[in-house]
């Protein structure tokens, strides 16, 4: 059974689901932007990506483990918040 973040994600319209995955895949988009736009915090987005992507794709995007040093920083993407 999917966890709560995945259930919240599935309630989003299809186009918003695609946008969340696209934004999470991009290096330039900070998790804070995703949280502001869609209400999914960083751990929720990671859980959704882990559930939605094939294991090899998830490892390709996030590496063997997800560490804060490997995640996008809000300073890199201030223009998205405008």
Residue 24: both structure tokens together: 């999470």
| pLDDT at position 1 | 61
Query: What does the pLDDT look like over 13-72, one tens digit per residue?
Result: 989 988 998 898 887 889 999 999 999 999 998 888 888 888 888 888 777 555 555 555
- Note whether 39 and 8 are within 8 A (CB): yes
For position 53, what pLDDT does the model report? 84
Cβ-defined contacts of 21-25 (< 8 Å, 24+): 21/48, 21/49, 21/52, 21/53, 24/48, 24/49, 24/61, 25/61
For the chain, domain boundaries: 4-81
pLDDT the model gives residue 28: 86
pLDDT value, residue 69: 54
First to last CA, the chain: 37
Distance CA 2, CA 27 (A): 26
């Amino acid at each position: 059974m999917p966890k709560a973040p995945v259930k919240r994600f599935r309630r989003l319209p299809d186009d918003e689901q695609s946008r969340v995955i696209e934004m999470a895949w991009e290096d330039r988009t900070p998790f804070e932007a995703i949280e502001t736009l869609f209400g999914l915090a960083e751990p929720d987005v990671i859980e959704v990506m882990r559930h939605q992507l094939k294991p090899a794709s998830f490892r390709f995007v996030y590496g063997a483990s997800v560490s804060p040093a490997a995640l996008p920083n809000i300073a890199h993407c201030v223009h998205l918040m405008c």
